Amino acid sequence: MMLQHSGPSLADISCSALVPCLPLVREELRLTIQSKRLSHGLSADVSSDGASSSSEMLTDYLQTTGTSGKRELTPAEIERRKRRRERNKIAAAKCRNKKKEKTETLQMESEKLETVNADLKAQIEELKQQKQQLVYMLNLHRPTCIVRAQNGRTPEDERNLFLQHIKESALQLENLTASLSTTAC
């Protein structure tokens, strides 16, 4: 959970608003350096009147604390950092597991779809063979067909009559729909 600061953001504050704070910040830094020097057994003479003395103080401070200039963490800060790292470690493991599960799920789904696809292709081939057999049988039967000889119609004639019947039905439905829409208006 991240804490939200309700005040204005740093981007909203103009430089002129920050200028009066600079002397306070300098004084605070001076006092911090002075206290560090005293704790390390150095002279507490800190003059704030020249830039050379501030740079000397900074150099002395960095030499006494080491070259990194990092301050030591308090036990509370160490505990917070430890908890944050632990939470981050747990979150990273959770994310990795979730990604792994998703990959496995997609892999299983892919294999399933490949199996279904192979089955459908086999079914298509089987149906094509059945169609060939039926066409072959129909062609063998055609010359000896009694029904065709009795009514004098060919299969093409039958198909044309069926298509004509469908067109007439569609036209009647269209006329009925048009008459209903004019009556409703």
pLDDT (tens digit per residue) in 129-149? 999 999 999 888 877 877 665
Cα angle: 120, vertex 126, 127; to 5 degrees: 90
SS (H, E, C) the chain: CCCCCCCCCHHHCCHHHHHHHHHHHHHHHHHHHHHHHHHCCCCCCCCCCCHHHHHHHHHHHHHHHCCCCCCCCCHHHHHHHHHHHHHHHHHHHHHHHHHHHHHHHHHHHHHHHHHHHHHHHHHHHHHHHHHHHHHHHHHHHHHHCHHHHHHCCCHHHHHHHHHHHHHHHHHHHHHHHHHHHHHHC
Arithmetic mean of pLDDT, 60-74: 62
Question: pTM for the full model?
Answer: 0.37
Arithmetic mean of pLDDT, 39-60: 58
The CA distance from 174 to 176, in Å, is: 5
pLDDT of residue 7: 55
pLDDT of residue 115: 96
Per domain, the residue ranges of the chain are: 21-70, 152-179
